[in-house]
Copies of this chain bind each other. A is one copy, B any other.
Amino acid sequence: MGYLLRNCDFVITWINNELRILRNVDIAIDNGLIVNVGNIARGTYEEIDCSGHAVIPGLVNAHTHTPMSLLRGFYDDAELITWLNKMWSVERELTRDVISLGSELSIIEMVMSGTTAFIDMYHYPDVTASVALRYGLRAALGPTFIDTLRSPALVENELRNFLSMYGDSSLIRPIINVHSIYAVSRDTLLRIKDLSNELNLPIQIHASETRDEVYESKRRFGMFPVEYLNSLGLILSKTQLVHLGWVTNWELSIIAKANARVTHAPTSNMKLATAGHFPMRELIDMGVTVTLGTDGPASNNSLDMFREMKMAVLLQRHSYWDVGIKAIHAFKAATINGYKLLGLNGGCINNGCVADLVLLDLSSPRLQPARDDNILSNIVYSADGSDVDMVIVDGKVIYDRSRDYPVLRERARNIGERLNDFIRKFL
């Protein structure tokens, strides 16, 4: 049993890497896939009236630390290293229950704001995965190597357990998380390379986020961070490099040559004052797959991918002193590129794409006036997550505002109170 999305005012999709805007079409979904787009005769599918709506591919939050809504607003006004040490002081005390609550609060926020998949890095990923499955969201995640907090043998053991639990899940994709070159030793990095090969898993790592990281890398290893990772054989097509605010231009060709993937998290970089510049235009020109992430809700402090798309364009324009980066680049990063990173044919609304869709209510004042020529602009520069009316993942309606809004908000408030009971110990 599938769905027929009838009379969509606008459908925004990618066909052969080109953005296409369709008007007044229907979308048929069956068995988790889009099976028809056009003017479709009524059949046995359950119908969803999409008049007054723009239908877009689901948004992929390519880098976050989902449970960290538990630390939202806990410690905002510090630069990265100071901030990180403060986070770690609480994170040593985290329980599975607290992780579950933080994950659920963030997942509610993501679902309500049109995120259909997220790539996560945190402790107890099995807890976060189980909450994601409960809400029907896609997630790529796994235990995090971080020698400063946990022994690598322990993390490796967790990774194997995680794989046995979620290796066959259609919504959960196991990955190897590596905190950074400053929190993980050279020996551990070499072990991670072997594990990645043995288990055939992607690797996600923070890289070249701060001036300090780059300076210390050069001092200790005689190489910049991406050069160092490359010297260990860790810059691969399955490697996802996050941040790259202080990457050198000669490291870009290492990334491009390996076909590694990169993720930009502009809001978090700005909030933590890491400064630097993510070379988005150069990376795009070299054919690198650029994606976007909010980073964790303790360093953003929002999980709204609409806001992140806008921020990405704006920060690039500010840095380059020109308008070379446009709405289309951010939309591509958040949709089709995000799905590419997940290894799925998604981020598109064509036959055969996974049925991960978001319905935006065009009666939101900030989305008016709406026409073919400005709908993309309205989505990237004006919309926010609150304009989302419905979210479909894997062909299932995981959020229907008219049905779920009051329940989810009541739940969010309840979780907030329970998180406060935990956090108050640290104040």
Residues of A within 8 A of B (CB): 52, 69-70, 72-74, 76-79, 105, 108-109, 112, 267, 269-273, 275, 297, 300-304, 307, 311, 313-315, 317-318, 320-323, 326-327, 361-371, 373-375, 377-378, 381-382, 384, 386, 408-410, 412-413, 415-417, 419-420, 423-424, 427
A182–B217 alpha-carbon span in the complex (Å): 49
In the assembled complex, which residues on chain B have CB atoms less than 8 Å from the CB atom of A73?
Answer: 369, 371, 373-375, 377-378, 381-382
Q: How far is the CB of A124 from chain B (nearest CB, A)?
A: 19
Given contacts A270-B317, A384-B384, 16 further A-B contacts (CB under 8 A): A69-B365, A72-B368, A78-B323, A79-B323, A270-B315, A271-B317, A272-B317, A273-B323, A301-B377, A302-B381, A304-B366, A307-B384, A311-B314, A361-B409, A362-B416, A365-B408
The answer for the CA separation of A415 and B311 in the assembled complex, in Å, is: 28
> Does B270 lie within 8 Å of A412, measured CB to CB?
no
Contact A423-B369, Cβ < 8 Å, known A377-B76, A382-B73: yes
Q: Contacts of A382 on B, CB cut-off 8 Å?
A: 72-73, 297, 301-302
| B427 A373 Cβ-Cβ under 8 A | yes
> 10 tightest CB-CB pairs across the interface, nearest first?
A73-B374, A368-B416, A386-B386, A73-B377, A365-B412, A270-B314, A369-B416, A363-B409, A109-B365, A273-B317
A423: chain B residues at CB < 8 Å are 369, 371
Give, as a whole number of angstroms, the nearest-CB distance from A358 to chain B. 16
* Residues on the B chain within 8 Å of A365, using CB: 69, 105, 108-109, 112, 408-409, 412
Pick the most buried of A76, A314, A362, A368: most chain B CB atoms within 10 A of its CB: A368
Q: How far is the CB of A84 from chain B (nearest CB, A)?
A: 14
CB distance from A306 to the nearest CB of B (A): 10
* A273, B322: Cβ atoms closer than 8 Å: yes
Between-chain CB contacts (< 8 Å), 17 pairs: A70-B369, A72-B368, A72-B378, A79-B323, A105-B365, A112-B365, A270-B317, A270-B318, A271-B313, A273-B317, A275-B321, A301-B377, A301-B378, A304-B384, A364-B412, A368-B416, A369-B423
Name the contact of A368 in the complex, choosing from B105, B269, B314, B363 (C-beta under 8 A).
B105
Alpha-carbon distance between A413 and B364 when the two chains are bound, in angstroms = 8
Assess whether A369 is in contact with B318, with CB atoms less than 8 Å apart. no
Task: Return chain B residues, CB-CB under 8 Å to A271.
Answer: 313-314, 317, 381
Residue of B nearest to A327 (CB): B76
Provide the residues of chain B in CB contact with A374, threshold 8 Å.
Answer: 72-74, 76
When the two chains form their complex, are residues B313 and A364 in contact, meaning their CB atoms are under 8 A apart? no
Do residues A413 and B368 form an inter-chain contact, with CB atoms below 8 A? yes
CB distance from A268 to the nearest CB of B (A): 10
Contacts of A311 in B (CB 8 A): 314
Is the Cβ of A320 less than 8 Å from the Cβ of B273?
yes
Least CB distance from A106 to B in Å reads: 8
**Which residues of chain B are near A320, meaning CB under 8 Å?**
273
A370:B327 contact, CB within 8 angstroms? no
Complex contacts, A409 vs chain B, CB 8 Å: 361, 363-365
Do A419 and B368 form a contact, CB below 8 Å, given A301-B382, A363-B412, A374-B73?
yes
Report the separation of the CA atoms of residues A112 and B363 in the bound assembly, to the nearest whole angstrom: 13
CB A381 to nearest CB in B, in angstroms, measures 4
Q: Which residues of B contact A321 (CB under 8 A)?
A: 273, 275
Q: Which residues of B contact A269 (CB under 8 A)?
A: 318
- Closest Cβ neighbor of A76 among chain B residues: B377
Given contacts A381-B76, A381-B301, contact A369 B322 (CB under 8 A): no
Q: Which residues from chain B contact A301 at a C-beta distance below 8 Å?
A: 366, 377-378, 381-382
Query: Which residues of B have CB within 8 Å of A417?
Result: 369
Cβ–Cβ contact B363 & A314, under 8 A: no
The answer to whether B381 and A77 have CB atoms under 8 Å apart is no
Residues of B within 8 A of A327 (CB): 76-77
Please name all residues of chain B whose beta carbon is closer than 8 Å to the beta carbon of A371 when the two chains form the complex. Answer: 73, 420, 423-424, 427
